[in-house]
Amino acid sequence: MKYRESGMPDEHLWKTFFDPDQILEQMGIGRDIHTLMDVGCGYGTFLIPAAKRIGGQAVGIDIDPEMIESCRAKALEQTLKNVTLVRGDVSAADRAEWLGKYIGNVDYITLFNILHCERPLDLLKGAYDLLGSSGKAGVIHWKYGDTPRGPSLEIRPTPEKISEWAEQEGFSLLDSFDLPPYHFGLIFTKK
């Protein structure tokens, strides 16, 4: 299922909202990560630079086949051999059928600009199940307030709400910070 208000703007506009390398650095994504999973990888804004930073495999997951193809083209163009792409929904009940080999084996999972979905607890539960015992989940989202993009304020989660949801699903907050100009970041670990 495609999440509410998850339509992507033009890629050139999308790129103006982020400094992916700076965000990945602040989120602690580096060489010590063997398996990173980017949920809702979109255009590959974070997946492609993350693949260059980590010491292993970068797995991009998206429900939209056009986004999967966009990432595939970028990985091929940049001759990245450590990118795997999967079409699907991590919050789906049947995730174990098509993500089985990853369950309990992911070092880091990114949930970037996605927790405004209809069932955030299901998404966080899926992320929790995929992570290994010392795995981390990185969350970025649009700040609550006036931003040039992002979901409507009625469904836009605050850092406090995301932390509450994550706690319910077994996560502990490790770190939180501001990602100017439009985002905040949270890093969670499994309890």
Q: Which of 76-85, 93-102, 140-149 has the highest mean pLDDT?
A: 76-85
The neighbour count for residue 35, using CB atoms within 10 Å, is: 22
Domains in the chain with CATH codes: 19-190 (3.40.50.150)
DSSP secondary structure of 108-160: EEEEES-TTSS-HHHHHHHHHHHEEEEEEEEEEEE-SS--SSSS-TTTPPPHH
28 dihedral zone (left: phi>0; alpha: psi -120 to 50; beta): left
Residue 27: per-residue pLDDT = 97
pLDDT at 49: 97
Segment 143-156 shows an average pLDDT of: 89
- The percentage of residues in the chain with a pLDDT greater than 70, rounded to a whole number, is 93
Q: Is the pLDDT of residue 93 over 90?
A: no
Q: With 80 as the cut, is the pLDDT of residue 75 above it?
A: yes
39's torsion region: left (phi>0), alpha (psi -120 to 50) or beta?
beta
pTM of the model: 0.92
Whether pLDDT at 164 is above 70: yes
Mean pLDDT, the chain, integer? 92
